[in-house]
Amino acid sequence: MATGNLGSVVVSVDGSEESMNALRWALDNLRLRPDGEFVVLHVQPPPNIAAGLNPAPIPFGGPSGLEVPAFTQAIEAHQRRITQAILEHALEICSEKNVEVKTEVIVGDPKEKICEVTANRNADLLVMGCRAIGPLKR
């Protein structure tokens, strides 16, 4: 599927082997216009999603939405390290293929932010990996 008419291709990576295979596929099979760009996108979930936290009120009238700053900072630092490792792996793949890419990292709900970035960049194509789940799970 080589084409030279693509101006912008966003490839979303999350560190999974499926997303890295999608990146490899895009680099091997897609051709951009001379002024085109590949964008490797990683969306970090917010700390409360990453930690699986859904703050609930403390029973018997305690404060709700209580946040522990040190805990949040530790999660954010850990997410930054994970993101760095994911981008290093993706850039290594791009380097092996001799393809220059731009990278973008944003924080938010991945299903919303991936669509938002793709639309804001007026991308011609979004490439993502897929887990092997059945149609009932989807």
The CA distance from 126 to 39, in Å, is 10
Nearest 5°: CA angle at 122, between 119 and 127? Answer: 75
Ordered by start, the domain boundaries in the chain are 11-52+68-128
Output the CA–CA distances (angstroms, integers) from residue 65 to 13, 45, 68, 69, in the order listed. Answer: 31, 18, 10, 12
Classify domain 11-52+68-128 at the CATH class level.
Answer: alpha beta
* Predicted TM-score (pTM) of this structure: 0.79
DSSP state of 116: H
Length of the chain measured in residues: 138
The CA distance from 50 to 40, in Å, is 21
* Per-residue pLDDT reduced to its tens digit, 28-39: 999 999 999 999
| More confident site: 87 or 63 | 87
pLDDT at 91: 98
pLDDT at 70: 79
* Per-residue pLDDT reduced to its tens digit, 81-122: 999 999 999 999 999 999 999 999 999 999 999 999 999 999
